A and B are shown apart, each in its own frame.
Chain A
C-alpha cells in the first residue's frame, strides 16, 4: 500500500481490506466500514456525473492518456502545418499565398517548396512547413529508404521515397478521424438497439439478442477482410461501415443490461405509478444510466477501429485510397529488411494512441461505475 494512496482516500474500504489482511480483527474492519458509510450519507448532494468527472480528474494515468490524445488530435488537425509539400505562406511571382493547403490556388497546383525556391523572383519569399514534404509525394530527388536524421527527412523515407514523418503526421489524421467516425455510428447503433431490446422485451429483445450473439461469433478482422474482398469497389467507408455494423454488439449488451437493471428500480416503478409515459421513463430515468457505458464504449470503440484498420492496411488488402496510414507504413517494412524506422515510428504512434485510449477508457469505466463508489479504486 503506497502512502499516496492512503492519504488520498483515508476512508475507502480498500484500506479496510488492507487492514484486515494485516491480521487486524474483523470487528475493527466492520466498524471502519460503517463509519465510512455514515460519512458518505451526510455528505452534500452530488450528481453521479460530478463524481465521475472528479474521479477522472484525480486519475493521473487518465490525465496522461487524455493529454496524449489531445496532442494526437492537434497533430491530426494541423497535419498540413507540420508536413506539406506546399509552403505555409509564400510570396511568389508577385502574389502572396497564405496556407495554400487550405485554399488550393490553381497557380500552385504542380509546385512544391523546392521548385518555388528554385524559381524565385526578387522580393519572393517562402515559409515552408516543419517538414517540406507531403504524405503521398514521391520524391524523384529523394532516394528511397533514407535512414532517419537525413537532411530534409527527419524520420527518413520509405521504399518509394515518401517522407516517413509526413506519413506519420497525416496517418494520425486518418486514424483518429476514421476511429471517431466509425465509433460514432457504433455508439448510436449500440445504444439504440440495446435500449430497444431492454425496454421492449419479448420478440424484439430476442431478435436483438440473437443478432448480438451471432455477430459476436464472427471474428471482426476476418469479416472485414472478406467484405473488403467481396464488395466490387471497396472504399474506406466500406471498411468503416463494416466495423461499425459489427462492433456495436458489446455496447448493446451493456446498455441492455443497464436498462433491464434500471427498469427494476423503485424510481422507475414510482415514475410509472405517477403516470409518466413510457418514452419519458426511458428518456429521463432509464437511459441516463447508459451514458457511462456509452462513453466508455466510444473510447474502446475508437481503439478497436484504429486497431482493425491498421491491421487491414498492414496486410495491404484494404482499399488503396492513397491515404497515409500507420498500418500501411508498417506493412512496408516487411519487404524491406533492416528498415527499422518504417516499423518503429508508426508503431510507436499506434501504440501511444492505443495506450492512451485504453487508459482513458479504463479510467472512464471505473469513474462511471456506481458499484465502485464504495469499492476500491482498483
Chain B
C-alpha cells in the first residue's frame, strides 16, 4: 500500500512540472515593457520579470564577476559610453572591488586612472578616503592600491559573516560603520540575517545598512509596527531575489546550476517552489501571505459544499439506481438533471436574489455553500447512480439475492460498498469545477476569499496575484487528485495491483 501511494505521489512530479510549463507560458502572455530603452523604470520592470534572461537555458549566466569585468571594459574603452560603465561600477559597489582593484596593476596607466576615478562614489559611500582627492587619476590609483593592501582581508565571506553576526547580536554604531565600509559586498549576509532574525533593533540596523549601500528600499525605525516590519522584510527579499546576481558571485555548483536557474523559467519555478510569489501591486502585501489570509474562506466554502454534496449524493444516487425506473428514480433524476445543467452562478444569483436582506456573513456563507453544493450534488449523484447501476447487474448481487439475503443487506453491503469506489476517484476529477465555482459564489455573496480577491486583482492587473492563484489552485487540485487516487488504491486492491503491473499509468 505504501509503495502504491509513493508511486502515485512520484507520478505527480512530472505532471506538476508540465503544469508549471503551462503556467509559465501563461505568464509570457502578460504585456512586457519594451526592450532597448534607457528609462530606469522600464529597465527595472523588465528586470523584475527577468525578461532579459533567456527562457530555458542560460549559457552565459551573469554574476558580479562578469558584470564588473564588463563595466571595467566599458570604462577602459572610454568615449561616450564611459559614463555607463562608471554607473555600473557605482551600482555594483563594494561587491565588485575584489574583481576590480587587484587587477588594476595589469591595466595601462591611463585606463587604470580612469577606472580608479570611477570608483570614487563607492569610496564616498563606504566612508573611506577622507582627505584624498579621488577625482585625480594618480591619487585615486594610489589610494585604491593602498586600500586593498590594508583591507583585502575584510572582503572575504567569513569576515563579513562574522561582522553581520556581531551586528545582529550586539549592535553598535561602530559595527554598523564596519559593515558600511565593505559596502555591497556584505549584502548576501545582510539579507540572510534579515530573514532569520526577528529582533527589531537588529532589523533596524540591517535595513539601514542595506539602504545606505544600495540607495533604495525601506528602512525600519524604532516605532515600526509588526506589519511594517513584515512588509519591509518582504520588500527586501523580493528585491534580493531579483538582484542577487549583481552582488554575489556564482561559484562551484551554483555556476553549473545557473545554466538552468538563471533563466526566466528557472526563476519562475524558484519562486513557485519557495512560495516567494512576489508582491501585490494593489497594497504592497506579499502575495503568499495574502493567499494564506484568503484561502481559509475558499477552503471552508469548498469543503462544506463537498461534504454536503457527498452526504446527499451517495444516498440519492444509490437509492435511485436500486429502485431503477420507479417513481423516486424518475423524479430525482429529472430534478438532478435540471440542477446538473444549472450554472453555479445562476443558482447563486437566484439564491441571493430570493434571500436579499440577509446581510449576516454567516447566512451568506451558508447560501454560498448551498449554491456550490447544488452543482456538485447533481454531478456526484449521477456518478453514484451509474456506478450502482453497473454493480447491481453483477453476478454476485444476483447470487446474494438468490441465497435469500434481505434486500437492504444486498443493497448496502454487496452493492453500495462496491459502487462507492468509482465515485471516490471521480470526486478528485470534480475538484477543478468545484474550485472554479467557489470563485463565482464568493463574488456573488461578497465573501472575502481567494476568488473575491482575484476579481479585484483582475481589475487592477495584479499579475503576481493572478499567477499565484492559478499556481495555488493547480497545486491544490493535483494534491486532491493524488489523494483520491491513493484512497481508491487503499479501498480497492485490484487498482493497486493493476497500477503496479503497468508501472502506473494514471490515465489508462
Contact = CB atoms under 8 A, between A and B. Distances in A.
A211 interface: yes
Nearest to A256: B507
A229 interface: yes
Most B-side CB within 10 Å, residue of A25, A213, A257, A355: A213
A215 B349 contact: no
A17 B23 CA distance: 50
A164 B252 CA distance: 69
B507 A222 contact: no
Contacts of A221: 436-437, 439-440
Contact of A17 (B27, B350, B393): B393
Interface string A213-235: 11111111111011111111000
Nearest to B354: A340
Interface stretch (B11-19, B164-172, B277-285): B11-19
A41 B324 CA distance: 28
B506 interface: yes
A165 interface: no
A317 B393 contact: no
Contacts of A230: 26-27, 29-31, 463, 466
B402 interface: yes
B65 interface: no
B473 A218 contact: yes
Interface stretch (A150-158, A290-298, A307-315): A307-315
B22 A215 contact: yes
Interface string B338-381: 10111111100110110010000000000000000000000000
What is the predominant secondary structure among interface residues of chain A facing chain B?
Answer: helix
A29 interface: yes
Given A225-B439, A253-B507, A378-B389, A217 B402 contact: no
Interface string B315-355: 00000000011000000000001101111111001101100
Contacts of B16: 214
Given A227-B26, A375-B393, A216 B349 contact: no
B444 interface: yes
Interface string A8-26: 0000010001001101011
B181 interface: no
Given A229-B458, A343-B353, A222 B346 contact: no
A223 B27 CA distance: 11
Contacts of A47: none
A181 interface: no
A334 B508 contact: no
B432 interface: yes
Interface stretch (B77-85, B303-311, B474-482): B474-482
A219 B507 contact: no
A315 B15 contact: no
A354 interface: yes
Nearest to B11: A213
B402 A2 contact: no
Interface in A169-210: 209-210
Contact of B22 (A17, A214, A232, A358): A214
B343 A311 contact: yes
B430 to A, nearest CB: 11
Nearest to B322: A21
Contacts of B507: 209, 212-213, 253, 256-257
Contacts of A13: 393
Contacts of B30: 230-231
A315 B508 CA distance: 37
Contact of B429 (A25, A216, A256, A334): A216
A23 B401 CA distance: 7
A355 B341 contact: yes
A358 B337 contact: yes
A220 B429 CA distance: 13
A161 interface: no
Contacts of A213: 15, 18, 506-507
Contacts of A100: none
B289 interface: no
B237 to A, nearest CB: 24
A317 B346 CA distance: 16
A68 to B, nearest CB: 11
A214 B13 CA distance: 10
11 contacts: A29-B398, A214-B18, A214-B19, A217-B477, A219-B474, A226-B466, A226-B467, A317-B458, A317-B459, A333-B353, A343-B350
Given A219-B432, A257-B508, 12 more contacts: A212-B507, A214-B16, A214-B18, A216-B432, A216-B481, A217-B15, A217-B478, A230-B466, A315-B443, A333-B349, A333-B353, A340-B353
Interface of B: 14-19, 21-23, 26-27, 29-31, 324-325, 337-338, 340-346, 349-350, 352-353, 356, 386, 389, 392-393, 398-399, 401-402, 429, 432-433, 435-437, 439-440, 443-444, 454-455, 457-459, 461, 463, 466-467, 469-470, 473-474, 477-478, 481, 505-508
Interface of A: 1-2, 5, 13, 17, 20-21, 23, 25-26, 29, 209-223, 225-232, 253, 256-257, 260, 303, 307, 310-311, 314-315, 317, 327, 330, 333-334, 337, 340, 343, 347, 350-351, 354-355, 358-359, 375-376, 378
